[in-house]
Structure 1
């Protein structure tokens, strides 16, 4: 089942190389991907898809297309285009760092280290966090962290490994610790965002930008937490991170609906109109597979997590993948970008496509994505 799904995904991705040209897919409207000239936070996922496709197939068409995206990311950093946010890890881990991992390209390594320095500019020492959105001192977002940022921390951990400069590791660990304390709730659910006083660092309140309400559990946020804490464990071997990742994963898989692919928020009322988020299921599956990398064969959580991944991925392949739909631009249907905001609430989303293929390749070939070497 996994091999067929992979081959279908690679065939569609290859067609999309010509279809997208030098542009980058973001989310779809009427089943057509909206494209941008490398100005969005999601553009690394297209690069990552190309590198995954090349790593699996050895097809130079994927390699050449992926290399072109890295050249675009080099220009984006040189021009400082749309980099005033925390998603630098999403952009450069899956583009230039992927090239370094697969090809050993020294220029790609240096570009990735430069990107890590851009992310470090988001560090706010008074609160000991990486500011998610907006400029320093921003009235609305100046004191705000979001759970997604856990997936950007690997860029900093990696920079520490490559340079030996402890500042990268110290910032990543401080942010992970703060996220664990304030974004993860006592019942193992999670806040999407948390606010701190910008001057004192005092914790203020949890909230959301994407979820059903401030106290709900946005499924994609929970998935970011699963994978993000697992990656922090990989780099630091702090057992608290692995424990937290497992707790978040159990909460997620305990709440799978009948077809095993989650709705957009665990607290949203379920009816015929409730939106799904196939991307959340893909991310959580990839994250749980990362957790499994670190568990002993007799670990009591292993069987549960393996079953959760099998259910989620089988649900995606069976009911949400575009297998057999030759003209489909996306790999997964029924992803949601922002249900609350009405932005692509039931569409293709490029990060869903990326994590779907990453999870498939983990299952079939043991590939681990480009979060670490």
Structure 2
């Protein structure tokens, strides 16, 4: 089943290389991807798909398209286009860092280190956190962190490993500790965002940007936490990060609905109109696969996670994948970007496609994503 799903995704990717040209997919409308000239936070996921396709198949068409995408990311960084946010890790881990991991291209390594320096500009010494959105001092977003940032920290951990400069790891660890303390709740659910006083770092309150309510648990945020804390454990071996990833995973997978693919928020009222988020299920599955790497053979959570991954991925492949729809641009249907904002609430998400493929090739061939070497 996994191999068939991979082959289907790679066939669609081949078609999309021609379809997209020099542009980058974001989310879809009426099953057609919106494209941009490498200006959005999501553009790394397309290059990540291309690198996964090359690693899995050895097909030079994927490699050439991926290299071309990395060149675009070089131009973007040099021109400083739309980089004033924390998602630099999503952009450059899956483009230039992926190229370094696969090809050991020195220029790709240097580009990725430059990207890490861009991310470091989001560090706020007064508050001791990485600011997610907006300029420093921004009235609304100036003191705000979000759980998504856990997936951007690997860029900083990697930069420390490559350079030996402790500042990268120190910032990543401080931010991970803060996220663990304030974004993860006592019942193992999570806030999407948390606010701090910009002058002294005093905690203020939790909130959300895309969840059902400030106190609800946005499923994609929970999935970011599973994978992000597992990766922080990989880099630091801090057992608290491993424990946190396991807790978040159990909360997520304990709440799978009948078809094993989650709704967009665990607290959203469920009826015939409730939106799903297939991308959240794909991210959580990929994160759980990473988590498995760090569990002993006799760990009580191993069998639980193995079963959860099988359920989640089987649900995606059997009920949400576009297998049998050769003209489809996306791999999995019914992702949601922002249900509250009415922005692509039931469409293809390029990050959903990426994590779906990452999970599949990891299960089939042991190929992981590009969060570490």
- The TM-score, its normalising length taken from structure 2, stands at 1.00
Unaligned regions of 5+ residues in structure 2, if any?
Answer: none
Does 2:45 match 1:35? no
Q: 2:276 matched to which residue of 1?
A: 276
C-alpha separation in 2, matches of 1:183 and 1:296: 27
Q: Which residue of 2 aligns with 1:113?
A: 113
- Unpaired segments ≥5 residues, structure 1: none
Q: 2:144 — aligned with what? A: 144
Partner of 1:335: 335
Pairing of 1:52-63 with structure 2 (within 5 A): 52-63=52-63
1:197 lines up with 2:197 in the alignment: yes
Residues 12-60 of structure 1 show CA distances to partners (whole Å, capped at 9, x for unaligned) of 0010000000000000000000000000000000000000000000000
Q: CA deviation at 1:126?
A: 1.3
Task: State the alpha-carbon separation in 1 of the partners of residues 57 and 9 from structure 2.
Answer: 12
Secondary structure at the aligned position of 2:300 is classed as coil
2:360 corresponds to 1:325: no
Superposition misfits of 4+ residues, deviation over 4 angstroms: none
Deviations 1:311-353 (A, max 9, x none): 0000000000000100000001000000000000000000000
Structure 2 counterpart SS, 1:291: helix
Q: What is the match of residue 301 of structure 1?
A: 301
CA shift at 1:127, angstroms? 1.4
Instruction: Give the aligned partner of residue 7 of structure 1.
Output: 7
Please say if 1:367 is aligned against 2:356. Answer: no
TM-score, L = length of structure 1: 1.00
What is the correspondence of 1:61-80 to structure 2 with a 5 Å cutoff?
61-80=61-80
Cα distance per residue 1:85-142 (max 9 Å; x no partner): 0000000000000000000000000000000000000001111110000000000100
Q: How many residues align?
A: 373
Partners of 1:200 and 1:77 in 2: how far apart? Answer: 31
Residue 102 (1) aligns with residue 102 (2):
yes
Query: What residue in structure 2 maps to residue 24 of structure 1?
Result: 24
Counterpart CA distance in 1 for 2:223 and 2:11 is 27
Give the CA deviation at 1:200: 1.2
> Which residues of 2 match residues 153-172 of structure 1 at below 5 A?
153-172=153-172
CA RMSD after TM alignment: 0.3
Once the two structures are superposed, residues 269-302 of structure 1 have per-residue CA deviations (whole angstroms, 9 ceiling, x without a partner) of: 0000000000000000000000000111111100
